[in-house]
Amino acid sequence: MKYGIVIFPSKPIQDEINAYRKRYDSHYALIPPHLTLKEAFEADDEKIRELITELKHIANETEQFNVSIDKVSTFAPVTNTIYLKLNQHQQLSDLAEEMQTGKFPENQTYSFVPHITIAQKLSQDEHSDVYGSLRMKDIQLEDTIDRFHLVYQLDNEVWTVYESFVFGKEFV
């Protein structure tokens, strides 16, 4: 089965982000707005049980933190993906780093860039138009992060939560 580890922003932030995603993100219906801590990986039931224990330890050692979003950016020319950039926060980087070591599969394709995708798989012209328009918007979002989620992909490609891990509150 295919799994991933993500942070979902709060509902008000998700609603605001979905206003963009509905129009520009082909994966809108497959997963809510999220920040990917660990990209998709394959694992069997035994491996997932082992990783869940590790995720509980990580959650217990992590304190909630605040993030802010005030910029639209793009991964072009690598991909025509447009995203909201989360201002770098050490705890966020540390979380992502922990999920690339130890018992976790080493599958990191790109360097960790804290972001929430709002548009992807656009043609060159679409990308140019949408990015030009969105980067002029005044975006000021703040959120408190207090948990992350192990998600898995269903047969219809929709991602759903397998288990959530609240910072400082997991029993191992």
Among 27, 57, 89, 115, the one annotated catalytic: 115
pLDDT tens-digit map of 21-67: 999 998 999 999 999 999 999 999 999 999 999 999 999 999 999 99
Among 27, 34, 57, 149, the one annotated catalytic: 34
Closest CA to 52 of 145, 147, 150: 150
Reported confidence tier of residue 85, pLDDT bands at 50, 70, 90? very high
Element (H, E) at 51: helix 45-60
What whole-number distance in Å separates Cα of residue 57 and Cα of residue 31? 26
pLDDT tens-digit map of 95-149: 999 999 889 988 888 889 999 999 999 999 999 999 999 999 999 999 999 999 9
Catalytic residue at 127? no
What whole-number distance in Å separates Cα of residue 46 and Cα of residue 66? 34
